[in-house]
Amino acid sequence: MTAAARDELNVYESAEARFEIAAAKLGLEEGVYRYLKYPSKEITVYVPVVLDDGHLEVFIGYRVLHSAVRGPGKGGIRFAPNVSLDEVRALAAWMTWKCAVVNVPFGGAKGGVICDPAKLSKSELERVTRRYTAELSEWLGPERDVPAPDIGTNEQTMAWVMDTYAMHVRQATTAVVTGKPLELGGSQGRKEATGRGLMICCDKAVEKLKMKRSDCRVIIQGFGNVGSQAALLMHEAGYRVTGVGDIHGGLYNERGFDIPRVYDWVYRQQKPLPEFPGGGEWSNAQDILFHPCEILVPAATENQITAQNAERVECRILCEGANGPTTWNADPIIERKGIFVIPDILGNAGGVTVSYFEWVQDRQGFFWREREVNERLQDAIEQSFDQVVRSAEAHDVNNRIAAYIVAIDRVARALKLRGFYA
Ligand code: NAD
């Protein structure tokens, strides 16, 4: 597809654009290129659920397995009203590249159900989850495809997925999902893992650019699992978090926020983030991205930095917590501004790395201490960061394309070693 014909806000096209550039740089053979470009399987399920008021609703759900070349599929399940097959496809492909960048032995997959979890009761959500899982039960499994939480799903959802799958195969199978509660085979450190991975990347970039943590103003968009954990960890490590925001709006304070208090306000007191009483200038949910800072962490959702607004980004390091927060059209503007980019498939890979550790622990039936999990995570992310930076230098490309090159190269090598069945 030509660049002009692409829809900038279609995440599948955004993912494909980067894949094409990296594949060309790598000189990928035409056949392998085609093999890796398309998903291996796309499943649509119609999920009938009786709602609390007695009426029968049918929800549409998807599971896309992009690749199982390096191991079982791995990827979250998203519950949101705007889920689409294109989005799930893009997220599945990103999972393949993400797992390959951090060298964990998984392929890529993703799932989603078109629903609004805020409008469903807990028991309705449980029925949606169980029926969706039941419809997919023959495609899931510790050696087939291993889901995890994503937007709109959480530890409880994963417990329901595990239980439903276990009922179908008639044996306890904790390793069929990750991101589970600790009591059901979850891993220490999983909740913080994506935020911790972001911080490890920022630490590496700060060191590379000869900056100091204490001089870094950090703005984080999104205060969910990823954003809030990144904010807590970075605050504790000595970064100055000067901007936070969620779907309700953002707050900016040059002096920095007391993040544990913000966390308490949002999660214990259940109050709207922009009404946090600790001082700060209000902004709308997107404008928080455009205040000056050293480190900008978009950790909310896709398509936040586009060709229309990228000129307004004023940071030294852009560390992507969300999947696809920057469109492919914005990439050249960000590059021209000399911003050091830590692309999503590296920046937020801490989550899948500890998911891999969870899967390993479940299969061993032996669980690690939190310190061991964090040390192994740090090793994995630091090594991957160095590989991406070396690839950028070797191929004379930006960090995003460099990360795709590392990933595509690993998957292509594995594919050629396996050969092509019949
Ligand atoms: P979440 O649902 O826990 O939190 C999302 C946060 O973003 C919330 O604070 C929400 O209010 C905010 N938000 C949503 N839309 C927004 C908008 N338009 N403007 C401003 N804020 C908005 O989700 P999460 O698990 O934190 O995931 C966030 C992103 O990180 C997603 O792109 C997800 O795919 C990606 N991700 C998550 C993980 C993980 O371990 N949870 C791992 C890798 C990538």
Give DSSP secondary structure letters for 84-119: -HHHHHHHHHHHHHHHHHTT-S--EEEEEEE--GGG
Q: Are 107 and 72 in contact (CB under 8 A)?
A: yes
Active-site residues, by number, are: 110
Which residues line the pocket of ligand 1, CB cutoff 6 A?
149-151, 194, 221-227, 245-247, 285, 299-301, 321-323, 348, 351
Angle (CA) 68-70-74 rounded to 5° is: 55
- Give the SS3 label for residue 351: helix
Q: Which ranges in 209-340 belong to alpha helices (H)?
A: 225-236, 259-263, 331-336
**Residue bearing the CA closest to ligand 1, atom 8:** 224
Q: Which is it for strands 317-319 and 340-342: parallel, antiparallel or unpaired?
A: parallel
How many angstroms is it from 342 CA to the middle of ligand 1? 17
Using most ligand atoms within 8 A of CB, pick from 125, 194, 262, 301 the residue to mutate for ligand 1: 301
CA 260 remoteness from chain centre: 23
Ordered per-residue pLDDT tens for the chain, 422 residues: 445 456 888 888 888 999 999 999 999 999 999 999 999 999 999 999 999 999 999 999 999 999 999 999 999 999 999 999 999 999 999 999 999 999 999 999 999 999 999 999 999 999 999 999 999 999 999 999 999 999 999 999 999 999 999 999 999 999 999 999 999 999 999 999 999 999 999 999 999 999 999 999 999 999 999 999 999 999 999 999 999 999 999 999 999 999 999 999 999 999 999 999 988 899 999 999 999 999 999 999 999 999 999 999 999 999 999 999 999 999 999 999 999 999 999 999 999 999 999 999 999 999 999 999 999 999 999 999 999 999 999 999 999 999 999 999 999 999 999 999 87
114-141 CB burial, b ≥16 within 10 A, e <16: bbebeebeeebbbbbbbbbbebbbebbb
Angle (CA) 285-288-289 rounded to 5° is: 110
Rounded Cα distance between 232 and 227, Å, is: 9
How many angstroms is it from 213 CA to the middle of ligand 1? 24
How many angstroms is it from 181 CA to the middle of ligand 1? 19
Q: Are 187 and 366 in contact (CB under 8 A)?
A: no
